[in-house]
Structure 1
Amino acid sequence: MESELSRIAKLIKNEEQCKKDGNSMKEKKLVLLVEDLYVQSLYPLYGGLTGEYVKSGPSKVDRMSSASSSSSESEYFSSEEVDYNSDINDSNQSTSQLLNPELQLESQSRQVKQLLFAKNADLHRRVFELQLLLNDTKGTVSVLQAKLQTNEDRSASKIAELMARIHELEQEAKSLRTQKGKVEEKIRRSRNEASSQKKDLEDQINAMQQMLDSLRNHNKELEVQLERTRVEASKSCSVRIQNHGEDLSEEKECFLARIKDLELELESRCSKQQDLEDRKKELERAMARGVQEICEVFRDHEGCKEGATITIDGEGLKSVVEKLKSRVGDQEETIKKLTESIEEIGAEKEEKEKILKEMVWKLEAMVSKEAGEKLNLMKQVRQLERKVENLERDVKEKDGDLVGLAEKKKEAIRQLCSLVEFHRNRYVYLKDSMSKRNKFW
């Protein structure tokens, strides 16, 4: 009986799953199971009653049959009526047990009937509860069926979307395979081109390295030659400048000594000229005084009457005048000679000054020539240094070009590697997605 109840409960619980599988249970089957349970519960009671009937006699069978018919008629009694009847029967049974064994048997049959009524009511109540549970379960099952239908519709739409997506992925995989082939071909060509470019670049680098080595050797030779030329030029210039300096210093000392001598001679002649000029001035003053005295004598003796004395004084005055004129002529001659000598000394001085100036100009020309030669040597040295700097700059530019080419080569290789890695990862991703799709299907 307990197994039947558990079976009914299990059937009610599993009804939703049965409906999902398309094998929904009929309500009649559940009712038949309940009736079967009810009948099975009546079997032991009926067996007990039949055993007592065999012991007590055939009258008991009639009573049992009447009891069974009455039980079928009163199976819809309530539990309160059953309890009330059971109390009455208990009291009647206690009184009837004292009367006779038949009454005792009848009371036992009534007790069995009451138990059957109680069992029947309990079973009806259980059946009603199970029907309510079944109705609730049917509502839940209908809701779940609606949800299931909605989920199936959604799943169908999702499956359609997934199929479309899978088709798109297949097309994309095909296009990626073709792209992969193209990219691999491009990578192969790029590798071949890169290898050829690498070889060309290596050849260019080797040629430029050889050129650089030759330029460096030539630069070293030029530096050695420049240093040698610089040392020789500096030595020759220093020696020539030193020699010219010594010559110039000696000539300068000679010229200075000569100039000092000429200056002393000029000073002496100037002093003599000054003395002559002083003497000339004194003579001129004396002549002026003599003339003045003569004039005074003439004025003092204009009115003298004595002719002899006047003649004598006039002759004396004439002699005095003649002497004075001769002295003045001598002084003028001396002054003229001194003037001529002074002019000769001045001309000689000017000539010597001119010679000295010419010598100074020659020395300055020699010095300027040496300075020009030195400047030319310095210009040549600067030109050589500039040439060396240009060569070094060219070498640095070529080194920079080589470094730039190496960097470009590294960048191109890096980009090719990144492109290959990207397509490899993409291929792995598509391969994994296709394998997962195949597992799903």
Structure 2
Amino acid sequence: MEAEMAKQRWKGSMKAFQSHLDPEKEEQLKGIKKEIESKVKRIVKLSKSISKGSRDGNLRRRSELIQLVDDFHKQYQSLYAMYDNLRGEVKYNLCAKIRDNAASSSSSVSDSEAYQSPWQYAGEGSSYFSNTANHETAFLDLDSLPDSPTSSGQEPESRDVFKDLNNRGKGIENSMTDKLMNESAWLKEKVTEKEELLLSLTKKYEVHENERLAEIKSLEDQIAVMKKELGEQIMSKSNEIKQLEKGNAGLQVHVRELEAAFREKEDQFSNLLARFEENQTKSKSRIDDLMARANSLQQKLDSLHTERNEQLKLLNNEKHELELSLEKKYHEATVEVTDLKEKLTSASLVEKEILKENEGLQVQVKDWKLEVGSLCSQKSDLEKQIRDINREAYRSQLEKEELTDKINELETILLEKKHELSTLQKKHEAYANDMSNQNSSLAARINTLQQELRSGETEKVQLQSQLEKQKHEFFQSLTQLEKKNIELTMKITDKEKSIRENEHVINKLNEEHNQMKIRLEDSKSSLQNAEKKIEEMTQELRKKFEDGLRILSRRIRVAEQMHLENKEWYQKTRDSYEKENNDLKEKNARLQVGIRGIKDITLTANDTLASLDTVALKFEECTGHFFNRISKVSCELQFVKDWVMRKNKAIVHVQDDLDCLLAQLDDKEAEILVYREKVWKSDNKVRELEKMIKEKDDGMLALKEEKREAIRQLCIWIDYHRSRSDYYQKSLSVYGSRKNL
């Protein structure tokens, strides 16, 4: 009978226990568990791939992570609501079954079996929540890994653009690379220190969990031993049940007070969670603002870099074009200078040849003067002979008079020719500087004239010999004198013809001389025009360089202003970051205080659990049903403990998120420092380019001065040749006037 009663009681307890377990809710819990596991896997994958992709991909992944975490939080809240419902049902069932006063001494075995079943159920629940906790710890470990700094692996700018500045920029670039390497090593050391801290914290957490598991196992062993002892003591303490029933009411009142205190602490904890969530949302909004500011700064810096590169390209193109134009103009000027030098050399050669021709003409004039003197002497001799022979031959006198008339005519002609020669000499001396291009023709003509003069000299010698013969043979042959006079007249006419031809040649030479003068004036005007063009080009180049320098100075001033504004903004942002960091630290301290309070609550909960365990042991001695109810309450309290543990882990996760955010802020500060260094490098490069421009300007000024000196030397050389030509003209005129005298 006792065995049958025990079986019936065991079946009733199982039914009462299974009444709390709904199969539909079990299926919902299984589905929720699968969803949570899939979301945890997805969160782990996204947290691993955040630091590997691009910025846009990272932003998308972070948004997806935030959505997954929000869904996880919602599911967690739904589970918490389900837990509240189950707890309410259990409390209701406990209150209903406490009123039953069915107790028997022979139900020890059934009570022990019924006692074991809820603990098994509690073990299953704890295993389920331990699995979820393990998933959450895995997620925390993966999410709490620090992001690798993006600024440590950045390389310096490409050095191909500034090949001309390699010799000057190597030291600067090496120093900057050393600084960057030192900063990257310092950042890596910080990252390793943070990783070591995280590892130490995880190890401590694992050790703490192992200790707690060991304590739980020891407690379970103690409970099993106590169960055995209770099975032995139930028989002896069946008489004390009535007394304990009287004290049951007081215990129920105490339990209700504990539940009220527990609810108050739950309310406090919910308030703390609400505050924490508000702070988290505020910190997220601030972080988003800071990220937006950092992105805007990066865009501004990129735009500044592009503007500076475009300005440098424009300056280089303008410099290249100006250099090409200057080289062309310099080449043209050198060609013109070489042409002028060739003209000057040809003019000097022409002057020398003209001087030689003048000397030859002077020799010819001297010869002609000697001939005239000889003719005069011949005339006087002939007059004497005619006077002596007047008496002898009247005819000879007439012929003599005719000859004298002819000789007078010849003398007048000779005087006219002398005057014409003097005028021709003056004209020739005046136009001697411009006879360079016709030296060959003049030389040929002068040779012909010299040949004619030589022939005239030979004829003169012949005439002298003939005159001597005529002196001896005058009386013999007057007819021969007439013939000779006729021959002389013919020769004089021939000479007149030759003189006329020479006059024609001299006129041609004068025309050519005038043409050469015109050409010289044209060349002078072209030289003046070229000088004016060179001066205009130099002025234009100066204006262009001045405009370029003004534009550069303005741009540099604008860049300096932007740099100062960026510095001020950086200082302000740094101060705001420091303030926010201090606020976050204060909030972290407050949260730690809250966590300590939660730990105190857990300790009190553990104490209450221990007291409840003692009460349950006493209660099991009284009634098995009451013991089952107390065991269910202990299961619920164990569930509460697990929930508190998960909340602690969530708080640790939040602390890790804060650490990650601080690390991101440090990375952003490092990136800002890198951008500042790039700005300093660009400023140094601009200064070096300004130095190069100044050096090129100095080189251009030196070239201009050299050109001016070359033009001055050419002018001096031209003046020298002009003075020499004037001197030769004056000397020839003086010499001609002396000869005329």
Q: TM-score scaled to structure 2, two decimals?
A: 0.24
Say which one has the larger Rg: 1
Q: TM-score scaled to structure 1, two decimals?
A: 0.37
Higher relative contact order (CA 8 A, sep 6+): 2
